[in-house]
Amino acid sequence: MFEVDRSRAKFPQFQSGSFMDNLKLGFYDYASLFTNKSLRKRVFVAIFTMVFQQWSGINAILYYAAFIFQDLGLTGNTTSLLASGVGGILLMLATIPAVLYIDQLGRKPVLICGAIGMGISHIIVAALYGAFGPTNWRGHAAAGWVAVVFVWIYQINFGYSWGPGAWVLVAEVFPLGVRAKGISIGASSNWLNNFAIGQATPDMVKSMNYGTFIFFGIICFLAAAFIFF
């Protein structure tokens, strides 16, 4: 109702209900998010919150977990798929504290803590991969499992912070009168970056090896700085 009332008050000339008026109304409603300085800043926050959420590497791991775990030395499809399943369960369970405590702890502390935890996990995986992979895992099985554990720790950190927290932040950053359209822009950023990372990850892993985890780790630290400032 707030959004409808705002639209009627701001654009009374486009309220006939015709196709062209509805088209113009939608265009000007979205355009107002970019022409107003305060709203433009909120759009920037929404877009880049989702950029950082996706490029933290979560869907790179979820989409290609079985292959990544094999690269970390897990032998056999069953073992790598089991490790993927464990990661998914941990990710789901980690969202429960976020639902219960994000109001008490605050959005920024949760997102910053999660981003730092994700970044550290990525860097540790990169260090282990650089030291023992991809050809030396057979003689260092324990190191491979340590790397897998830190992938799980990364997923836990994402689950209690950027998984639900990014969506909460994007929703709350906009006033009620433009919230629906603001969220739609944030969601568009999320899915566009989701698509991009899904396409880019295989080539990144192939060409960068452990550098892929360093890249994601740097993005996580930048995400923490983005939320802090």
Q: 151-200, pLDDT tens digit by residue?
A: 999 999 999 999 999 999 999 999 988 899 999 999 999 999 999 999 99
Cα distance between residue 114 and residue 73, in whole Å: 27
User: Does residue 13 carry a pLDDT above 80?
Assistant: no
pLDDT at 75: 72
Q: Which two tokens stand for residue 64?
A: 């290609």
Residues 214-221 have a mean pLDDT of: 98
Domains of the chain: total? 1
Report d(CA 53, CA 46) in Å as an integer: 11
**Residue 20 located in a structural domain:** no
Query: Is 28 a member of any domain?
Result: no
85-134 pLDDT per residue, tens: 899 999 999 999 888 889 999 999 999 999 999 999 999 999 999 888 77
Give mean pLDDT, residues 145-150.
Answer: 92
Please report the pLDDT score of residue 95 as a whole number: 94
154 occurs within a structural domain: yes
Question: Average pLDDT, whole number, for the chain?
Answer: 89
Tell me, yes or no, whether 43 lies in a domain: yes
Q: What is the pLDDT of residue 120?
A: 98
The H-or-E segment that residue 3 falls in is: helix 2-10
Output the domain CATH number for residue 83. Answer: 1.20.1250.20
DSSP state of 13: G
Nearest-10 crossing angle of helices 141-160, 107-132? 160
Residue 9 reports pLDDT greater than 60: yes
Q: What pTM value is reported for the model?
A: 0.88
SS3 content of the chain, % helix, strand, coil (to 5): 90, 0, 10
Average pLDDT value for residue range 12-25: 73
* pLDDT confidence band for 141 (50 / 70 / 90): confident
Contact 114, 161 (CB under 8 A): yes
Domain range enclosing 43: 36-228
- Is residue 42 situated within a structural domain? yes
Residue 14 falls inside a structural domain: no
